[in-house]
Amino acid sequence: MEQETTTPRATRWTFLTSHARVLAQIARDPGIRVRDIAARCLLTERAVQRIIADLETGGYLSHARNGRGNRYRVQHGTRLRHPADAGPTVDDLLAVLTAQAQRPDDVLAPRHP
């Protein structure tokens, strides 16, 4: 009987989608350039353009020309798309993603009055 040798499969998953990352960057800076979003999210500019188009088509984002650039506007009150995520809004997600970083002790420690 031949013994099967397997190499550990590299897991390539993340907690956040590229769409969430792009939207969080725009929420932090509505005048951000596609080039800067791409650099911060480790994506190509073309991928960021497609994601922005998806977010606009989905009703999560709009933009207006501002000189040579764009000024983005997150559409507040929109719901997350997946049925398992029903309840929280995109605003709720962005509040977490754009919050100032806290020390882990502050997050995990119970609060006492």
Alpha-carbon span 80 to 67, nearest angstrom: 32
| Per-residue pLDDT at 109 | 46
Alpha-carbon span 78 to 65, nearest angstrom: 23
Look up the domain containing 55 and give its range: 18-99
Q: Nearest-CA neighbor of 31 among 2, 92, 72, 68? A: 72
pTM for this model (two decimals) = 0.76
Domain contains 71: yes
* pLDDT tens, position by position, 79-112: 988 888 888 899 999 999 888 655 555 444 454 5
**Structural domains in the chain (count):** 1
Alpha-carbon span 60 to 65, nearest angstrom: 17
Structure tokens at 48: 């960021």
Q: Residue 56 maps to which CATH number?
A: 1.10.10.10
Higher pLDDT: 8 or 81? It is 81
Rama region for 68: left / alpha / beta (φ>0; ψ in -120 to 50; rest): alpha
